[in-house]
C-alpha cells in the first residue's frame, strides 16, 4: 500500500449484514398494499417533522416514496444513523410498549407516507403473520441496537457502590430501556457533568431524561412516568381481566387472554419477568432446549402480550382489590 492510500474497506460481515437487513427491511409493493387499508396516506413536505424527540410514540410511518431522516441528536456520535427510504418504515419497540420518540424524524425529501396508528398496527400484526414477523423483528432488533450503542433518552449519573444507582440500572435494564451510565467514581468528566446539571454528589443517583429533566434520587415510578413508559389507561373503562404481577404466570395469562380477544390490563410493581427475569439461564422452560436467559424470556413474553393488545403498567403497585 502506498503512503496516503485509503485503507482497504473490510467486507461486510454476512451475519451482520443479514441482521441489519432484518432491522431495516424494505417492504414489497404487495406488503405495502396490505398495510394501506390500516393507515392514512399523506404527503409530507421536505423538512416537515413527523415525530419529535420526547413526543409519545403513537404511530409509525411507511415510506411509499421519498425519504424520512432520523436527525442525529448532538450526543449521538460515532454511529451510523438510519434513513428510511421507499419501502421502509419508522418505529421501534416503544410503539408496542408505550414510550417516546428518542430522536426527531424529518422528511429529507418530499415524501408520500402511510401513517399507521398504534391500534391499527396492532390489529394488522394480529391478523397478518408475514407482516407481524417483519415488524416485530425490526422493532426488537432496533431496540437491541439502541441498547448496544447506549443511546437513549436517559443519562444516569451514579456509582457502582450506590444501592440506588444499581436499583435504577436494574430497572432500566430489565425493562429493555436504553441508557447511558456515568460512574461518578471513575469517569474523568463526572464533576463537569454534575456542574452542568446543577446537582451535587449527595443527589445521586441522578437521572437526566431527554437531556433536560433532572430527577434527583428518584423512585422507579418517577423514572417510568418521566420516560412515559406506560400506556395511557382509561380508568373509567371496564376490562375483562386485570392481572397483578408480570412474572411468568401473569405474562402467560395476559398472552392467552389477549390472544382470545379479552381486554387485559396488567399491573407490575417493578419490571416484566418477575423472579424469572433475574435468572441468568433457565434450562427447564418448555420449548427452549438450549436454555434462555430470564430477561430474554420476559422480553419475548412482554412483546407477545402487547402484540395481542394487553396494556401493561410497569412500576405501579396494586394496593387493594375491590
Ligand X SMILES: Cc1cc2nc3c(=O)[nH]c(=O)nc-3n(C[C@H](O)[C@H](O)[C@H](O)COP(=O)(O)OP(=O)(O)OC[C@H]3O[C@@H](n4cnc5c(N)ncnc54)[C@H](O)[C@@H]3O)c2cc1C
Between CA 45 and CA 66 the distance in angstroms is 10
When asked if residue 62 is in the footprint of ligand X (CB under 6 A), the reply is no
- CB-based contact 189:157 (threshold 8 Å): no
Which of 42-50, 95-103, 199-207, 247-255 is the region at the interface with ligand X (rule: CB under 6 A)? 247-255
Closest to ligand X by CB, 100 or 174: 174
Give the Cα separation of 131 and 136 in Å (integer): 8
Q: Which of 245, 256, 262, 293 binds ligand X (CB under 6 A)?
A: 245
**Segment lying near ligand X (by CB under 6 A), choices 94-102, 115-123, 167-175, 263-271:** 263-271
CB count in 10 Å sphere of residue 66: 18
Task: Considering only the stretches 5-13, 93-101, 128-136, 266-274, report the one whose residues sit in contact with ligand X under the rule CB under 6 A.
Answer: 266-274
Q: Which residue is nearest to ligand X (CB)?
A: 247
206-209 and 311-314 beta bridge pairing: unpaired
Q: Which is nearer to ligand X, 205 or 274 (CB)?
A: 274
153 binds ligand X (CB under 6 A): no
Sheet holding 180-183, edge to edge: 180-183, 154-158, 206-209, 213-216
58: left (phi over 0), alpha (psi -120 to 50) or beta: alpha
108: nearest Cα among 61, 49, 59:
49
Count of residues in contact with ligand X, rule CB under 6 A: 21
Restricted to residues 273-292, the positions that interact with ligand X (CB under 6 A) are 274-276, 278-279, 282-284
Tell me if 44 contacts ligand X by CB under 6 A. Answer: no
Closest distance between ligand X and the C-beta of residue 242, in Å? 11
Residue 271 grid cell: 419490571
Instruction: List interacting residues with ligand X (CB under 6 A).
Output: 244-250, 267-270, 274-276, 278-279, 282-284, 317-318
Amino acid at each position: 500500500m502506498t503512503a496516503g492510500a485509503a485503507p482497504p474497506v473490510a467486507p461486510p460481515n454476512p451475519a451482520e449484514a443479514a441482521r441489519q437487513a432484518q432491522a431495516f427491511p424494505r417492504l414489497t409493493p404487495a406488503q405495502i398494499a396490505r398495510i394501506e387499508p390500516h393507515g392514512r396516506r399523506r404527503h409530507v413536505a421536505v423538512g416537515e417533522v413527523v415525530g419529535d424527540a420526547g413526543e409519545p410514540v403513537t404511530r409509525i410511518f411507511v415510506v411509499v416514496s421519498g425519504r424520512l431522516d432520523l436527525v442525529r441528536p448532538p450526543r449521538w456520535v460515532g454511529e451510523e444513523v438510519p434513513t428510511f427510504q421507499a419501502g421502509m418504515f419508522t418505529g421501534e419497540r416503544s410503539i408496542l410498549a408505550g414510550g417516546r420518540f428518542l430522536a426527531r424524524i424529518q422528511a429529507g425529501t418530499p415524501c408520500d407516507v402511510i401513517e399507521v396508528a398504534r391500534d391499527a398496527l396492532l390489529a394488522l400484526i394480529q391478523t397478518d403473520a408475514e407482516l407481524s414477523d417483519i415488524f416485530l423483528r425490526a422493532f426488537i432488533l432496533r431496540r437491541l441496537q439502541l441498547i448496544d450503542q447506549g443511546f437513549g433518552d436517559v443519562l444516569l449519573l451514579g456509582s457502582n457502590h450506590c444501592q440506588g444507582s444499581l436499583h435504577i440500572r436494574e430497572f432500566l435494564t430489565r425493562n429493555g430501556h436504553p441508557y447511558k451510565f456515568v460512574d461518578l467514581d471513575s469517569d474523568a468528566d463526572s464533576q463537569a457533568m454534575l456542574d452542568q446539571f446543577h446537582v451535587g454528589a449527595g443527589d445521586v443517583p441522578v437521572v437526566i431524561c431527554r437531556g433536560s429533566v433532572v430527577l434527583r434520587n428518584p423512585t422507579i415510578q418517577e423514572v417510568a412516568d418521566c420516560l412515559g413508559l406506560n400506556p395511557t389507561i382509561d380508568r373509567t373503562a371496564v376490562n375483562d381481566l386485570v392481572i397483578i404481577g408480570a412474572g411468568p404466570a401473569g405474562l402467560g395469562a395476559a398472552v392467552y387472554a389477549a390472544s382470545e380477544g379479552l381486554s387485559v390490563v396488567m399491573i407490575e410493581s417493578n419490571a416484566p419477568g418477575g423472579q424469572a427475569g433475574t435468572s441468568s439461564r433457565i434450562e427447564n422452560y418448555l420449548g427452549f432446549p438450549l436454555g434462555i436467559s430470564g430477561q430474554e424470556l420476559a422480553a419475548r413474553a412482554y412483546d407477545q402480550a402487547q402484540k395481542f393488545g394487553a396494556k401493561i403498567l410497569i412500576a405501579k403497585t396494586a394496593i387493594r382489590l375491590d
